[in-house]
């Protein structure tokens, strides 16, 4: 194969032989260079840039700064972003090597490729060790893999009607929004058997530092294989103890519903009546067990990283669901709504933020006049009822709204939400791609970052482990206004140094 095209016609034998030798040698060198070019462990120098936010002046640290058809995007906000040592951020990216998973050292800025052949759906960073778990499948999986037309780019979420206008793009699932994350490479459905792979980041990073990187097999362990009949699509969450992976399945094997479950009717303009289920894989033995089958389509799957055996997932309709959020134990017991919602509430973007709490967004993105019983998505998602960022206690089931963006904001509604592990902060973005911080002790809210560019995906804020900074994906510095980069928004030190008192100020 390498020698194809090496013989030149119309030349003397000796000259042809010299040319043939030279061209074939170059082809061999190019082949070898290409193999190294795409290798797990390939590095890029620091791309760090400190950019003052155009509105607030807060220093935003961009850990990547690619442009011109490439895009880098964070892991979805339901999952861990930083490695357990707090030094590396794992992200999805499209670079010269195609769609892969990468790590960036927050201090040095060094970027390391940590997959060899792409991945499918969610990246699962270990809770207790320097490891990464992925589902096999080429292409890099999920949304936001690059601007439209870029190599390996996935369809951008929210690029439909209203995208890029002053009012912001439609909410996930609103008319014009793209499908939810986890549909596989390039938005395609699942096909073929898939494997769960464990990547030893500690070993890889050590060899990168020593300049002794070896083939990918030296850092990769196959945990188990998921048969094609289960139709896995990459929606998965890692147990708190790193010993089980919980993942979404579909197809005929979910038709037999779990006790108490029924096939639910369609809802909204794009909902397809279906069944789906959750399965677990023992990451030591590869054994797969059934958790539950339900009469609706499961979307995002996440674990509770602080409580083993607890799973949170959603009913995905492509928009408002009659009951969006669900919680279940890994043995199939305890299945119930996480937050029982009313027909007028548009609940979305749930995320477990500590052992006993989850955060949800209650959207207010539709006008009261347009949200009629006969309209798409019914009467949900208006300011006729309470909206904002809400914290749900997973034990007591109590819900408290901790804040909402002000009425004067052009962002219209809180959209994607997060919370700090210590229970001190919550944050959200809005339909203007702004970042808001909520102080859960005194109810104060502050704008941290002004409107970002409406890039290839939403900004999806997530706190670090100690609640001192927020990771987003931003197109602020992209010349094409679409390419995303990994960005860190600091919580101001004046906020972190606050003390609280019940006494009235003088």
Closest CA to 320 of 270, 276, 359, 370: 270
- Could you tell me the pLDDT band of residue 503, with boundaries at 50, 70 and 90? confident
pLDDT reported for residue 190: 53
Instruction: Name the percent of the chain lying above pLDDT 70.
Output: 81
pLDDT reported for residue 267: 82
User: β-strands 485-490, 469-474: how paired?
Assistant: antiparallel
Q: Is pLDDT larger for residue 183 or for residue 108?
A: 108
Handedness of CA 334, 337, 340, 342 (dihedral sign): negative
- Could you tell me the pLDDT band of residue 170, with boundaries at 50, 70 and 90? very low
Distance between CA 354 and CA 13 in Å, rounded? 74
Q: Round the average pLDDT of the chain to a whole number and report it.
A: 85
Q: pLDDT tens across 61-83, in order?
A: 999 998 766 789 999 999 999 99
CB-based contacts of 13, cutoff 8 Å, min separation 6? none
Q: pLDDT tens across 158-168, in order?
A: 333 333 333 33
pLDDT at 131 over 50: yes
What's the burial of 144, exposed, middle or buried (CB within 10 Å: 0-12/13-18/19+)? buried
Would you tell me how many other CB atoms lie within 10 Å of the CB of residue 280?
22
| pTM check: above 0.95 | no
CB-based contacts of 284, cutoff 8 Å, min separation 6? 223, 243
Paired with 337 in beta bridges are 326
Paired with 470 in beta bridges are 463, 489
Would you tell me how many other CB atoms lie within 10 Å of the CB of residue 129?
15
- Could you tell me the pLDDT band of residue 146, with boundaries at 50, 70 and 90? very low
DSSP 38-103: T-TT-EE----EEEE-TTT--EEEES----SS-EEEEPPTTS--B-TTSSEEEEEEEETTEEEEEE
What are the structural domains, with CATH classification, of the chain?
A: 36-495 (2.130.10.10)
pLDDT reported for residue 447: 97
**Run of H or E including 209:** helix 201-210
Contact predicate 489/462, CB 8 Å: no
Distance between CA 356 and CA 306 in Å, rounded? 9
DSSP 436-504: EEEETTT--EEEEE-PPP--SS----EE-TTSSEEEEEE-TT-TTS---EEEEEEPPHHHHT----SSP
- Could you tell me the pLDDT band of residue 476, with boundaries at 50, 70 and 90? very high
CB-based contacts of 370, cutoff 8 Å, min separation 6? none
Distance between CA 397 and CA 393 in Å, rounded? 5
Average pLDDT rounded to a whole number, residues 403-427? 96
Contact predicate 334/312, CB 8 Å: no
> If DSSP codes are grouped into helix, strand and coil, which group holds residue 408?
coil
Question: How would you list the strands of the sheet with 131-135, edge to edge?
Answer: 120-125, 131-135, 194-200, 220-226
Q: Is pLDDT larger for residue 157 or for residue 302?
A: 302
Q: pLDDT tens across 374-387, in order?
A: 999 999 999 999 99
Closest CA to 96 of 79, 113, 82, 75: 113
pLDDT at 360 over 80: yes
- Could you tell me the pLDDT band of residue 38, with boundaries at 50, 70 and 90? low
pLDDT reported for residue 502: 84
pLDDT reported for residue 69: 64
- Could you tell me the pLDDT band of residue 266, with boundaries at 50, 70 and 90? confident
Least confident of 97-101, 107-111, 304-308, 335-339: 97-101
Torsion angles phi and psi, residue 493, rounded to 5: -60, -30
Distance between CA 62 and CA 50 in Å, rounded? 6
Distance between CA 231 and CA 234 in Å, rounded? 10
Q: Is pLDDT larger for residue 272 or for residue 432?
A: 432
pLDDT reported for residue 456: 86
């Amino acid at each position: 194969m390498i020698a194809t095209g090496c013989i030149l016609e119309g030349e003397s034998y000796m000259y042809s032989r010299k040319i043939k030798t030279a061209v074939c040698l170059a082809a061999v060198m190019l082949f070898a260079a290409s193999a190294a070019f795409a290798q797990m462990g390939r590095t890029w120098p620091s791309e760090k840039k400190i950019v003052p936010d155009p509105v607030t002046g807060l220093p935003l640290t961009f850990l990547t700064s690619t442009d011109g058809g490439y895009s880098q995007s964070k892991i979805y906000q339901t999952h861990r972003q930083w490695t357990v040592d707090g030094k590396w951020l794992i992200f999805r990216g499209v670079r010269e090597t195609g769609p892969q998973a990468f790590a960036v050292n927050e201090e040095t800025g060094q970027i390391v490729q940590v997959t060899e052949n792409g991945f499918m759906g969610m990246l699962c960073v270990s809770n207790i060790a320097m490891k990464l778990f992925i589902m096999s499948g080429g292409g890099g999986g999920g949304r936001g893999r690059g601007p439209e037309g870029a190599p390996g780019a996935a369809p951008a979420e929210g690029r439909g009607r209203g995208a890029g206008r002053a009012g912001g793009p439609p909410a996930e699932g609103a008319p014009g929004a793209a499908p939810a994350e986890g549909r596989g490479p390039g938005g395609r459905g699942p096909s073929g058997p898939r494997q769960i792979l464990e990547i030893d980041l500690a070993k890889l990073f050590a060899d990168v530092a020593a300049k002794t990187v070896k083939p990918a097999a030296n850092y990769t362990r196959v945990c188990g294989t998921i048969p094609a009949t289960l139709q896995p699509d990459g929606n998965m969450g890692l147990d708190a103890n790193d010993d089980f992976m919980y993942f979404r399945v579909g197809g005929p094997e979910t038709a037999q519903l779990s006790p108490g479950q029924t096939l639910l009717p369609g809802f909204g303009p794009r909902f397809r009546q279906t069944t789906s289920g959750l399965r677990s894989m023992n990451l030591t033995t590869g054994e797969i067990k059934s958790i539950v089958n339900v009469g609706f389509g499961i979307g995002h799957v996440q674990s509770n990283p602080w409580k083993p055996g607890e799973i949170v997932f959603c009913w995905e309709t492509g928009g408002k669901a009659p009951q969006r959020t669900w919680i279940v134990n890994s043995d199939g017991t305890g299945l119930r709504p996480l937050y029982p919602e009313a027909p007028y509430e548009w609940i979305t973007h749930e995320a477990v933020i500590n052992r006993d709490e989850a955060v949800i967004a209650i959207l207010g993105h539709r006008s009261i006049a347009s949200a009629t019983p006969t309209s798409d998505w019914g009467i949900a998602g208006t300011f006729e009822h309470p909206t904002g960022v809400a914290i749900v206690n997973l034990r007591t089931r109590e819900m408290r709204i901790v804040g909402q963006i002000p009425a004067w904001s052009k962002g219209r509604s809180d959209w994607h939400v997060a919370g700090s592990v210590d229970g001190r902060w919550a944050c959200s973005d809005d339909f203007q791609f702004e970042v808001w911080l909520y102080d859960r002790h005194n109810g104060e809210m502050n704008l941290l970052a002004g409107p970002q560019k409406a890039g290839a995906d939403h900004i999806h804020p997530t706190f670090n482990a100690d609640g001192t900074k927020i990771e987003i994906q931003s197109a602020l510095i992209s010349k094409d206004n679409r390419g995303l980069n990994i960005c860190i928004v600091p919580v101001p030190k004046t906020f972190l140094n606050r003390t609280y008192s019940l006494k009235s100020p003088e």
